Structure 1
């Protein structure tokens, strides 16, 4: 169904295998609104958090139940998979056509070049030759072979095959790779740094990596101090241009790259259930209001947001691939070594 009020954090690992929680938001309230995956909650998923104006919970409109849901379609696809056609299935009529022409030629040669006396004997010999050339049991034999192979897999190896016609494909496999989601050495990501642009040139790189506890005792600059010394617009971009959601436990949920951005910025997200998207600086001296979130679109390859600072200025922040960002900037504002960096 589609969320019409509030927000939801859902665990969709049962359907997609994605181990990270996925934030869901309400569809925008205007005529002609387009529903996207960000507004949709699927049956079979686990709702980890629900916030909204109706008794503190989100409100959604159910659009499908039972076998019409995504989970129902997934179960139906597993239980009743679509039949597959392989290359040799498409080539089989061509082979039969060639063999039929061969059988006709063989029949003519029998009648012309052989003399077995009785014409009945000749006809029977021709029919036997045609039967050997065009064996009608060939497709049946192939199906029976696949069925017997599937039965052996079940009896000897406890492997159940719902589509025996796929078994011949296994004979073409030379390398098999097993993959498992989430087997990276370290959970999450860390932001290493940022390189601001001033007057069309790159300035000094700002180190935004986390400082180990031992280095802090030696007088190294903490992450909050590094962020405080960075340009204000850079802080706005790190703190606001994302779709990260904060759970009641304080855990940040969303894209791992964006979570690393928010953690590096040090800015605090609004409390769960808050009506306004109000961000607070690490020292509490500044606030930033998110007016509108611009969802990522594959056609533009960009996402962004519109924010309002304490002076009332509206600031549009765009994030995306370097080609798209470059295309949207003035030529004088893009450094000459932009692509190299």
Structure 2
């Protein structure tokens, strides 16, 4: 705890920054040492000449000191400090404040700026753009208001598959979960103090607030029994739920579209899924896929609390996708343009989908309009084939993909990435 945590180390680094060791200062000390050696040689030569000429000792000392002050200027450190203070004053007039003046010299040598995407280039919050539920093994169109959907697995997944909690009467949690849950207009009730004398386990309950689905005689309530939290390594999260007055439990899952589709029964994934996903991600939208499955009716409450996620997150039914919009900040474009005018390279480091990162980079001016972007897909060697590299066009007029050979590499501009997308802008 404390300073040993990741956030604690960040606070400690801010409060007690490490001393900066610039090559500029090291070279300056070498230069002064060289001048000192030259002054020592000059002093020795002058002393020998003056002694041979019979000059008075006091005059010899004065002449020798003159040589030191001429070769090694005593005002050199002060001049360097004055230069730094003057630079700090010019930055202050531009509205730029620096609490560590030595870092000004460091900033003057920067040639690359790396930006995160969400919260840095784009706004912190997301806006619900619409949902694409599945009907008759195909997408049934965009619904901008998810609360208008009929009560079923899709909207139930949106209302249950999250990590929200109630604090002081208000929902708190991940911003994406908040946007998703609030768009359903359902109600979340967390268990309170049990008035009975027996200890019972009460789950978190969600329910729609519309009159036709929530009545005193036949309420529609879903209890969240188990939660598998989101993990970047598996790119998904899921929950085990049970609906009131129904037998058995259900599993609802959300996450990266490609990952969710790979865990679903292939006959439940529409054949146009890759094209529609590409269409939205290339425009910069954030896309999340939903899925569910009915669990074994024999699964008990206590077994659900101990079961691992890999025992249930497979052979699911694909439900559809949620499309979220992440807008650029107003100051993003001007800052990127200023850096490009200053001949400073700008780089985006993100874990989002490749097409989403490309769209944001295009919109903010990080990647010029005329530049073509190539995705490099590398395959390691195996027992049946050697290692291979494939160049895939990220953007084409018909939103398809073009394949390039190694000979085309010199004609295009390639941008690589880190993290799971293997691409960087």
TM, length-normalised to structure 1: 0.50
Which structure exhibits the higher relative contact order, with contacts defined as CA atoms closer than 8 Å and separated by 6 or more residues? 2
